[in-house]
Structure 1
Amino acid sequence: MGVKSNNYYSNEKRNTDKANDATHQEMLELVKDIAKFSDNTYGERRIKAVLNALSFPVSRWKVAKLMKEANVWVRYKNKYKATTNSDHNKPLYKNELEQNFTTEQPNQVFVGDITYIWTAEGWLYLAVVIDLYSRKVVGWSMGSRMKAQLVCDALTMAIWQRKPDKGLIVHSDQGV
């Protein structure tokens, strides 16, 4: 035939009918079940770990082929949460600072923002108020829900600690 014997037999081995291989079919069904159980969040490494735990020693590359054959794709979740909603009907205030973030003395301008932190209990929201002159945190509040009260508590703490004069400017990015 003009083909070396080792190539012939390796090609024969490669082309064995996988549809008749019971172990292959069982692993294929397991991959589908694992994907369904994990809501398509398990990738090659985690599926490999599950298959190995179920006494199916496979490599990551074999799992990748099984996933492709089973038409299983990983659905990645966002690693961030959207916290600003700029699409609202609330009034916008004039930007008094106009990107000039310097002041001559303390307690003239406070700036605030909200961020979120992942903890073992879930997401926690942190509202912070900073004195623009000293760049120090003068008020903060933390909670499990992002509500207006969170910001009010942080601002109340800042005013209580610093007792600013009239004319204080409070600046934020106006995210709701």
Structure 2
Amino acid sequence: MCQVLHVSRSGYYAYIRRPESRRSIANRELLDTIKEIYTNSRRIYGSPQITKNLPHDQKASRGRVARLMQAHGIRSKVVKKYKATTNSSHNLPVADNIVNQNFTTNRPNEKWLSDITYSTPS
């Protein structure tokens, strides 16, 4: 296995016996807090909001929080606000429906039609 990883045998065993660093322990504890805040926010909060909601004993920069979130596949939901595109309560004149679903004609260019299709936000 050492040949595949291109490391010496003594280096591999030193790595195995080495205790976990303080930074990796702190990152693991911070990640648990990030996951808790993330799930409590209904998976909406991103790194800036999670950074604001960290407890005082676990303060971290937004970049560090963002790196941990990205490394573990934690992404915020982007919720777009609904924007109404039609205002039906107005006093403007509305054109009469003179075609009345009768699309047959006797000669070309007798009836011209268009369509406006609205999609509902998902």
Report the TM-score when normalising by structure 1. Answer: 0.37
**How many Å apart are 1:20 and its aligned residue?**
7.9
* 1:170 has 2:94 as partner: yes
User: Aligned partner of 1:43: which letter?
Assistant: G
Aligned residue for 1:55, secondary structure, equals helix
**2 CA distance for matches of 1:35 and 1:171?**
51
**Number of paired residues?**
81
State the match for 2:34 in structure 1: 31
State the match for 2:90 in structure 1: 128
Judging by fraction of residues, say which structure has more helix: 2
Any conservation in 2 of the 1:40–1:75 contact (CA below 8 Å)? yes
**How many Å apart are 1:129 and its aligned residue?**
2.1
Once the two structures are superposed, the pairs formed by residues 135-154 of structure 1 within 5 Å of their partners are none
Aligned residue for 1:129, secondary structure, equals coil
Q: Deviations over 1:61-107 (max 9, x none)?
A: 001111112320011012224666xxxxxxxxxxxxxxxxxxxxxxx
Distance 1:37 1:129, change over 3 A: same
Kindly report the root-mean-square deviation, in angstroms, between the aligned alpha carbons of the 2 structures: 3.3
Once the two structures are superposed, the pairs formed by residues 5-44 of structure 1 within 5 Å of their partners are 17=20, 21-44=24-47
**2 CA distance for matches of 1:36 and 1:72?**
10
Judging by fraction of residues, say which structure has more strand: 1
Any conservation in 2 of the 1:44–1:63 contact (CA below 8 Å)? yes
Q: Percent identity?
A: 27
Aligned residue for 1:128, secondary structure, equals coil
Structure 1 unaligned segments of length 5 or more: list them: 1-15, 85-112, 115-126, 131-168
